[in-house]
A and B are shown apart, each in its own frame.
Chain A
Amino acid sequence: MAQDSGEPVSQAELAGSPVLLAETPAAPARRQRARIPLAPGEVRWLALPFLAPALVLLGAILLYPLIYSIVRSLFADGPAGGFGSFAGLRNYGSIFTDSSTLRAVENNLLWLVVVPTIVTILGLIFAVLTERIRWATAFKTVLFMPMAISALASGITFALIYADQPSRGLANTITVGIHDAFGSSSAYPTVFSNDAAAYSGSASAGYTTKSTFAPGSPALLPLTGLNLQSPPPDARQAAMPSAARGVYGVVWNDFRLGGGGTAGKIDPRELGLPGIQVQAIRGSQVVATTTADAHGGFVFPGLTSGRYQLRLPAANFAAAFGGVSWLGPNLITPAIMIAYLWIYAGFAMVLLAAGMSAISRDALEAARMDGATEWQVFRRITVPLLAPVLTVVFVTLIINVLKVFDIVFIIGQSAGANQKYSDVLAVSLYNAFGNQQYGLASAIGVILVLAVIPMMVVNIRRSRKEQR
């Protein structure tokens, strides 16, 4: 080996330089890699021992598993994960018949259609815009930073952002904040009545008394469900307002801390529901509206004759706006895609910005001199000249999206029962492997490889063309 050591170095140097040059987009020298002339005394077969380690590794960790997977995908699952009977293409068929894997296929297609396009467009926009601003490098660094964070960490971060409780999830803190700025939440979201004899209606429709009340006969309107651990600070012992003109009564929480009261009666330590809205109804018309005082008492001084039903409108009980269910069945896939955009937009931007810096300024200047608008310059000059780089970015993203796993898996895990709505093929593969459905898992793997192959062909062809 020692006597050979001089030669590989020289060979590497010889082979190395043109390859490096060819990979630089603006490289003037374009030579064909395959026809490197041999140095004097060099033998072509000598390359073999030097390639051998790589070939062995590739064979062991790439070729063998690939062939094994293809074979395994044609067999059913035997006991304890072993080979079962020959299944032909049945494992492949079940990918498209089983509802969970079919959903994964659909999600993968959605990813494929939406994500590479949006990421490329975003990257292009950022690349074009950063050319013009002062702090371009800082801006680019910030945008590229997510690429430096592991997808797992990003996934956990976004899972927290999307958490349901507004107290925990940033996305819902913002949505609830905006929502509440335009309409405040109700005072008694937990209060309700189970008394079907006294009221018709429900918390979401409002409660209407079944009986009618005349002036002078006090109305008792019991409700329950007030959080007694933290009652409204202005709530006082429930009490009937002193006899007044008109229809009057009390609306109170008919439950006291520790229980023990009589239902339908005002017991000691039972609180009024201050601020609750009460409507008086005649026929189906609301004739008067008032709110209860700190003791739950209310009076309609204007209603001095006739009989009225009383209504506690639904607005009193409207549940607090809980925000959007980001990780619910409908939004979970778009939500994960946004996290992915956050990571990869910077990646696309950096590649495209590099491509743009290689574009000849002359062409752009010439177009501007000729009176082209910025949009025309972008559309007719920049994009066509950038096309090769755009293709690289787009194809890379397609391959990345086909095999997307980590971020979907991590964010999905915090979605509870809704995780299944986020599944993509790589996640299905992982799950099938976990269930020891090695046949199905292999079939999914083979399908993924088949899906990636056309993209790889495009990539290889393009790079060959570039080197020629």
Chain B
Amino acid sequence: MALARTTMAAIAVGAATMGLAAACSSGKSSTPPAQSGSAAAAAFKGQSFTILGQWTGLEQSAFQSVINKFDKSTGAKGQYTPAAGGSEPTVLGAKVAGGTPPDIAILSLPGAIAQYGTAGKLHALSATSQAAVAQNFATEWATLGTVKGTEYGVPVDASDKSTVWYNATAFMNAGITSTPTTWPGLIADAKTLAASGVHTPISVGGGDGWTLTDWFENVYIRTAGLANYDKLTHHQIKWTDPTVATALTALKQIWGDKALIGSPSAALTVPFTGSVDNVFKASPTSAIVYEASFVATTIPADKDPAKVGTVAKYFPFPSINGSAPVVEAAGDFAVAFTSNPAAQAFMTFLASPQAAQLLVSYPGSGFISANKNLAATAYPDPTTAGLGQQIVSVGDNFRFDMSDQAPAAFGGTPNKGEWADLQTFLGNGNVQAAQAALEKDAESVTWTS
């Protein structure tokens, strides 16, 4: 509690300082950040708006730098608050239900945008914001923020969820010279790694259910194809569909092999951070971990971490049965709950390359942007630049994280729904039982679209 109070005090002091800074700078005219040009300097002098998100630490600092820039050039006062306890859906849900929503919320779940949009709680994007999104992002990103024909979301950052990270030293020790491009190739390389003395070649962070949904989604999009992926995303086909069985069976080739992932019951206690740690700590016990681009920001938290870009590298999720390259992506969207004009202008600013530049260039933030007008030089290192390049270059040829689009009670809750069902599947490898459980849980929630 003391900590929380200190933080609150710090925020209050910070807000006051920001107000001062805005007052001091309001006389000077700085370049208007918003592309529309309507947000001239001091256009929103003294107006404040609130933003709720889940970023803390360096991510919060990076986002704060975007707010500061906006405040400085418009005179507005943006106040960002991270959701207490890291559970943004809970905090936001209570605020909306209680009638005091923030002006802007940063949501990582298109499912939540659909939910609040359908309920009429969101404020549609202004024409200038829509134009900025159209100008700077691939169409698919705009579509993700659109509910029933109305556009609500501005993409803020993105992550590439089709990256498999590996320890280059372990690969070298095992004599593996090129990274695998196919599913059998991945399995064969993992077996070679085991023979070379890597005890658990593939590290699976089954303690966090979402890592398992990401595994499944990457396999499903490759074995079932984009059309089926879209259908399953909106529960237009059942989880008992044969395509799901095919994907789970393929997944079981890795999840069901103790020689590859070790004991499943042990994997079920390893959280995401632990699974990354196993591969990149000083004396690694694993060599491969599948997760998104943000693994790069998790690694430096390890004790004696491997260097990203030289030892910690990634390769695209391998092709299964000759599937074409496809990227699974995720990201955060800003949505407005009020018509606050300063907040609206800030949303427009968020869609601009300048805002993206501030986000990605902040040291250690690890942010990646899908903004196609962002210069690659904005990234602090070649690895994140490469990841950013990949997200932009796929254009519309990507699919958003399936579980993030599902209702949270199914696709976004620890120890419930899809997370729990895939954990059970990791534990027992029973395809049929997993399908039945998934379908039962999917039926018990309301699908908005």
Contact = CB atoms under 8 A, between A and B. Distances in A.
Interface in B306-334: none
Contacts of A3: none
Contacts of B191: 194
Interface in A28-83: 78-82
Interface in A155-177: 164
Contacts of A82: 97, 119
Contacts, number: 123
Interface centre among B97, B191, B270, B415 (most CB of A within 10 A): B415
B93 A436 contact: yes
B283 A229 contact: yes
A388 B436 CA distance: 54
A425 B63 CA distance: 37
Interface string B409-436: 1000111100010010011000000000
Given A434-B89, A436-B89, A419 B408 contact: no
Interface string B170-214: 001111100000000000000110111101000000111100000
A100 B416 CA distance: 8
Contact of A417 (B96, B176, B196, B209): B209
A418 interface: yes
Given A259-B196, A418-B269, A420-B415, A437 B119 contact: no
B266 interface: yes
Interface in A220-273: 224-230, 254-255, 257-260
Given A79-B118, A325-B265, A419-B415, A255 B196 contact: yes
A227 B199 contact: yes
Determine the interface band of chain A, counting residues with CB < 8 A from chain B.
Answer: 35 or more
A417 B268 contact: yes
Contacts of A224: 194-197
A418 B266 CA distance: 11
A440 to B, nearest CB: 10
A416 B408 contact: no
A82 B119 CA distance: 9
B359 to A, nearest CB: 28
B197 A229 contact: yes
B173 A229 contact: yes
B116 interface: yes
A81 B97 contact: yes
Given A190-B199, A420-B415, A435-B408, A257 B266 contact: no
A431 interface: yes
A417 B427 CA distance: 10
B175 A80 contact: no
A258 to B, nearest CB: 5
B423 A435 contact: no
A438 interface: yes
B90 interface: yes
Contacts of B209: 417
A346 to B, nearest CB: 22
A454 B175 CA distance: 70
Given A80-B96, A419-B415, A436-B408, A228 B119 contact: no
A225 B194 contact: yes
B252 interface: no
B89 A228 contact: no
Nearest to A437: B409
Contacts of B409: 435-437
Most B CB atoms within 10 A — which of A164, A259, A325?
A259
A125 B194 CA distance: 54
Contact of B174 (A190, A259, A415, A437): A259
A80 B121 contact: yes
A259 B175 contact: yes
Contact of B269 (A164, A259, A434, A436): A164
A79 to B, nearest CB: 4
B271 interface: yes
B115 interface: yes
Interface in B387-425: 408-409, 413-416, 420, 423
A223 B206 CA distance: 30
Nearest to A436: B93
A327 interface: yes
B87 interface: yes
A321 interface: no
Q: Would you list the 4 A-B pairs with minimal beta carbon distance, nearest first?
A: A259-B175, A416-B207, A80-B119, A79-B119
8 contacts: A78-B119, A100-B415, A164-B266, A190-B199, A224-B197, A417-B268, A417-B423, A437-B409
Given A228-B196, A420-B420, A435-B413, 15 more contacts: A100-B415, A100-B420, A192-B194, A194-B191, A227-B199, A230-B283, A257-B173, A258-B172, A258-B175, A259-B175, A325-B269, A416-B271, A417-B209, A417-B269, A431-B414
